[in-house]
Amino acid sequence: MSSRYTSIIAYLLALVLLVGCAQVAGGSAKPEPLVDDAGRTVSLKGTPNKIVSLAPSNTELLYALGLGDRVVGVTEFDDYPPEVKSKAKIGGFSTVDTERVVSLSPDLVLAGNIHVAKVVPALEKLGLTVVVVDPKTVDDVLARLVTIGRLTGKEKEAQELKAQLEKRLAATTAKARESGKAPRVFWMLGDGLFTAGPGSFVDDLIRKAGGVNVAADAKTQWPELSMEAVLKADPEVIVIPGPEGPALAAKLKADPLWQQVSAVKADRFVLIADQNLVSRPGPRIVDGLDLLARGLHPEQLK
């Protein structure tokens, strides 16, 4: 082969490499197709620069990866981090204004399971790319960081953050196991007997914090127990998320029926004022798990 042809081939190879590097540096490399949490195969045309989030938990995942500047629309319920409050609103969590979403011209829409039946098809029909993010467990939450990292060109940062959160999670769960005990837990949802059942995000949270969910054998994810069932289960700890926690705990302590429950007798309540720490499947769930584990195992996690 003549030196002339060798030079031409070398030039073309260098040009290909240069273009490839420029695409990666410029954030225009096309992400690989993925299967989202609704079982849908989704392909993006390029790295998204304008993202709409239809769930507060998805928004928190985006901000945790430093993608706040790419978020152009969120729900009316988004409140963390504080700067998200200035973003354009696209309606409520279950009442998405699809026309408003389209008007923001997003490259990517992150939806939740609640949107699969109607909102996702409507947005796709209008030409938008939608990915459903619906983690079922704490481990799923950390895995979704990597999914979003892949979609947005932040996979390295996502892997690093995931490793940090996994380390914290492992330390907390290990400390909780040191007690050798797993207290029976009743998770109180509102002013009543609704609680978290099997397959729910909270059920996984209770187990990882070193507790036993008294509704683990219920027939639905969010059952309403009878008072008879609560008395039979006799929870040793009652968890009440939300700002109304102190008032509800006082109400239970004044109720003759609840006074028969071990948790009330021992005044063992875990009150988590910021319920979003344990209800939103976002990166702060590790903080929520730590609070719960400290409440269940105060001697091990001081």
Q: Is the Cβ–Cβ distance between 104 and 90 less than 8 Å?
A: yes
Structure tokens at 147: 């999914």
Environment class of 163 (CB within 10 Å of its CB; exposed 0-12, middle 13-18, buried 19+): exposed
Q: What is the predicted pLDDT for the residue at 14?
A: 39
Q: Which tens digits make up the pLDDT trace of 151-164?
A: 999 999 999 999 99
Strand partners, 194: 224
Given 3.40.50.1980, 3.30.930.10, 1.20.1290.10, 3.30.70.100, which CATH number is that of 34-134?
3.40.50.1980
Same fold, 34-134 and 180-296: yes
- Please state the pTM of the whole predicted model: 0.86
**Res 12 pLDDT > 60:** no
Q: What is the predicted pLDDT for the residue at 24?
A: 38
pLDDT-above-70 percentage for the chain: 90
User: What is the CATH code of the structural domain delimited by 180-296?
Assistant: 3.40.50.1980
Local confidence band at 179 (pLDDT 50, 70, 90 cut-offs):
confident
- Gap between the Cα atoms of 166 and 162, Å rounded: 6
Q: Where are the domains of the chain?
A: 34-134, 180-296
Q: Which tens digits make up the pLDDT trace of 19-69?
A: 333 333 334 466 778 999 999 999 998 999 999 999 999 999 999 999 999
Q: Which tens digits make up the pLDDT trace of 65-114?
A: 999 999 999 999 999 999 999 999 999 999 999 999 999 999 999 999 99
